[in-house]
Amino acid sequence: MRIVAAFCVLWLLGLAAGVRAEPVQHWSVGLHRMQFADPLDARPVQALAFYPSSGPERSSRIDGYRVEAFEGAPVVIGRYPLLMLSHGNTGSPLALHDLATALARRGFVVVAVTHPGDNAHDHSRLGTLSNLYGRPLQISAAITTSLADPFLAPYIRGERVGVIGYSAGGETALILSGAHPDLERLHRYCQEHPRDSDACKTNGVLIADRADLAAEADPRVHALLLMAPLSLMFGRQALAQVKVPALIYSGDNDQLLSIEKNAQALARKLPVTPNYRLLAGAGHFVFMAPCDEEQRHHMAALCNDPDGVDREDIHLSLQAEAAHFFARTLGRPRRVGLDTADQ
């Protein structure tokens, strides 16, 4: 497995070198704020949309992250595939800002949702059924909101949508594409691995705060990018209805999730064989954007990687492959005045 992992890293580094050699599309990135009602309780949900812009390069400071995007910048006229981003438990979509902006530069509209009750500022739904089943409903509501948004809608090709899921966001993405969580699998796992403080915060039994909820797929979802996905609740039968292509990234040194029970098992069991990239030496947090000095000082555990792991090179490769993957599965951007045929 180490040999396979090392091969994948070499392949990724080669891809990164190829990206640097390719002609670069000189689009900047715009930022648009949206709000919609949480399907669970009608309270406001916040989302950030990143899109290709013809404006000058400008950055913004948002919640401690320096983001290469500027609010209200003009949109490059065209029609662009829509991608939704779901963050991990107690996380922030801004932790993945560089992936969102890199995809926007390449001609995608990326909408990043902050999940209520399960984000960096609010943990109130952690370990509950309402969180497991509510997160996919929030992404579906964000898709609907994006397709009706007066600012964004004229520029979105919304018939086929992609979902990016990091950690617990991978679980969310799988439910949206037809997976049905097996709660007993979580219970058995936590009996066998009681020290897994991330997956087993409630000892493998989710708090039944909303017995009326169940897994709901969204037929608009046609492709998945999963990074260090939490997926141990999905056996082969639970995944039987997931018929969309997937690109999966994980690190073989994940300090939070057992890759044997999550990413590796998922790659074996999905009905449509995914592209699976295993990164040698990489941990769970390598998929978060490279940190600046201030972040390294305040969030060292999230920012520092083992010797030999180059987060910036990994991100360059991930961004390039993600763009190719979504262009192939969803269709390429259609610029006004240019060749509009899908390739």
pTM over 0.85: yes
Quick: pLDDT tens for 309-321.
999 999 999 999 9
Ordered structural domains, the chain, with CATH: 2-332 (3.40.50.1820)
Q: Rounded distance, CA 253 to CA 289, Å?
A: 18
Q: Supply the pLDDT for residue 147.
A: 98
Contact 110, 49 (CB under 8 A): yes
CA 226, chain centre distance (Å): 6
Q: What is the pLDDT of residues 263-316, one digit of tens each?
A: 999 999 999 999 999 999 999 999 999 999 889 888 899 999 999 999 999 999
Give the pLDDT confidence of 80-101 residue by residue, as tens digits.
999 999 999 999 999 999 999 9
Which pLDDT belongs to residue 198? 75
Q: pLDDT per residue over 194-253, tens digit each?
A: 888 778 888 899 999 999 999 999 999 999 999 999 999 999 999 999 999 999 999 999
CA 331, CA 37: separation in Å to the nearest integer? 30
Using the predicted structure, report yes or no on whether residue 26 has a pLDDT greater than 80. no
Q: What is the pLDDT of residue 159?
A: 87
Residue pLDDT, tens place only, 260-270: 999 999 999 99
What is the band of 336 on the pLDDT scale with cuts at 50, 70, 90? low
Average pLDDT of the segment spanning 126-138: 97
Q: What residue ranges in 87-155 does DSSP mark as E strands?
A: 109-113
Rounded CA-CA distance 336/219 in Å is 28
Tokens of 328: 């192939």
- Residue 188: C-alpha distances to residues 21, 168, 214 (Å): 49, 19, 20
